[in-house]
Structure 1
């Protein structure tokens, strides 16, 4: 668990350092990455929970935007230092080096730029701002409920457009959870094949049980999401099979006819339920932040 939370931080800082390559000078790039890591650790407050760390990183925003803001800050500091030097031609070199503006232009600052939820606004203003952001995100979620899946399809797009959440990033940061989803899909795809049972259990059921165990022990989903993801195939098999099988039985056909129809359609309903569960787990995994 600890390694995974630390890996999220390392991946984020690495993306920021990669984005700074060619934009900042080497010493500025190292200083930027060092200060970014230190600020993340401060905001993290020693948490080893991967979901909490992901929320902290989400507050910092897109690493590319941080690099662009750092480049603008350094450029403005350099211009200010140049103007100050032009206005005070008699200032010695040592005095200019001791100036905070000159130090900033050389690539070092006393503090990292404020992140999204910083600022000197009063508590009431920050509270109403947070409520407005939640309502805005909620309205966007209603209009585009599967926006996370859209971002996953844009794995080669601009990171600023995808919010840093694309298919490649998800696979890299959540390999076990992605493997669980793949196993559930395999369980559904094996249903049409008449494979010999494993002991007394059908092979699709055994594969589904493996995927279910991985999902239930994962940390990327809430308990509700896990129950939906692994429960949808069971509901499809039992309730869906009973409902569709009952509708296909003619009146007075008897219990044997119902059982026959149930087993004829339950496999298909299991596949449909698995598809629903996999879509939900994938959506929630993309929306983990």
Structure 2
């Protein structure tokens, strides 16, 4: 469990370091990553449960936002970063204010301290650059402000957010780069949660064994024994909450008992006796167990994705 928690922290710091490329210098990125890792360790306080680590990292927020905050802090302190390089020479034609030199008669020498007419750098000439005025949002009509805000939001939105089932496709990218999928692709999740994945697979196998009508072992049915193994792994997991565990392993039993009673009772009707009801119950209870198992595994998989 310690290795899994350390991997979560490493993935988060790596995302922050990647976001700092092009914003901070190499030495600044290294210092930022070290301080971020130390701050995370301080917040963890020695805890190494993956769920606790996820909560701490969630409080830190988006790594890119941390990089922007660090760049702002350095800029406020007057420390140069890659983003604060000197701007390129302006291409706007300088507009000089009238000086005494402009009124000097041809052939005469300009007075001392006045700016030359041409051929002198802008800094020496004291020229004033005139740029096009930018409209203030407060001066715009309400409708224009609203649509401008929508456009800016769409431009700054992360790519792929508006695509249908983007999150599902990201999880299904087995061969994807974890940094490109924020560590939420199926391969990374399976690698970081092997025991939880094995528990869900065992529950699915238990449901798939129901139609084969295997002979019981002593007095226990084989699907029930396999389900009990998967349920034990789920109970001893430290990834899911108690509610998640109850829903995940309780759904098959709920489907078997309650579903079997309801569906079996509807198929029998009110005229048949107990023997006919029991026959219908055992006919449909296996199917309801499979449906409940499927729903429980889907919930566990969803919560596993949500926790990671």
Q: Same fold (TM over 0.5)?
A: yes
User: How far does residue 222 in structure 1 lie from its aligned partner after superposition?
Assistant: 1.4
Q: Per-residue CA shift, 1:199-227, capped at 9, x if unaligned? A: 43222111111110011011111111111
Match of 1:191 in 2: 210
Q: Which has the higher helix share?
A: 1
- The whole-number CA distance in structure 2 between the counterparts of 1:35 and 1:185 is 44
- What whole-Å deviation, never above 9, does each CA across 1:63-111 have from its counterpart, x for those lacking one? 455456667877872379877xxxxxxxxxxxxxxxxxxxxxxxxxxxx
> What is the 5 A alignment of 1:129-140?
none
After TM superposition, list the pairs within 5 Å mapping 1:163-174 onto structure 2: 165-174=184-193
Q: TM-score, normalised by structure 2?
A: 0.61
Deviations 1:4-62 (A, max 9, x none): 43332233224444565787665444333222211211222332332221111112234
Instruction: Quote the Cα distance in structure 2 between the aligned partners of 1:186 and 1:276.
Output: 14
What TM-score, normalized by structure 1, do the two folds share?
0.64
Residue of structure 2 in register with 1:91 after alignment: none
Rate the CA distance shift 1:82–1:50 in 2: closer, same or farther, 3 A: closer
CA distance in structure 1 between the partners assigned to 2:250 and 2:229 by the alignment? 14
Choose from 249, 254, 257 the match for 1:235: 254
Give SS of 2:307's match.
coil
Higher RCO, Cα 8 Å, sep 6+: 1
Answer with 248-257 or 35-44: which moved more: 248-257
Pairing of 1:167-182 with structure 2 (within 5 A): 167-182=186-201
Partner of 2:48: 48
Q: Once structures 1 and 2 are overlaid, which stretch shifts more, 72-81 or 229-238?
A: 72-81
Matched, 1:153 2:156: no
Q: 1:21 to 1:172 in 2, by over 3 A?
A: farther
Q: Which residue of 2 aligns with 1:277?
A: 296
Query: SS in structure 2 opposite 1:78?
Result: coil
Partners of 2:191 and 2:20 lie apart in 1 by 21
Q: Which of 258, 261, 271 pairs up with 2:277?
A: 258
| 1:155-175 CA-partner distances (Å, limit 9, x unpaired) | 348989976544334223322
User: Is residue 288 from structure 1 mapped to residue 294 from structure 2 by the alignment?
Assistant: no
C-alpha distance in 2, partners of 1:168/1:62?
22
Matched, 1:201 2:223: no
Paired residues of 2:251 and 2:293 also in contact (CA < 8 A) = yes
- Whether the 8 Å contact between 1:62 and 1:160 is mirrored in structure 2 is no
1:42-121, aligned counterparts within 5 Å?
42-63=42-63, 66=66, 77-78=80-81
**What is the match of residue 88 of structure 1?**
none
CA 1:158–1:63 in 2, change beyond 3 Å: closer, same or farther?
Answer: farther
Which consecutive unaligned segments of at least 5 residues does structure 2 have? 87-164
Report how many residues are paired.
224
- Residue of structure 2 in register with 1:130 after alignment: none
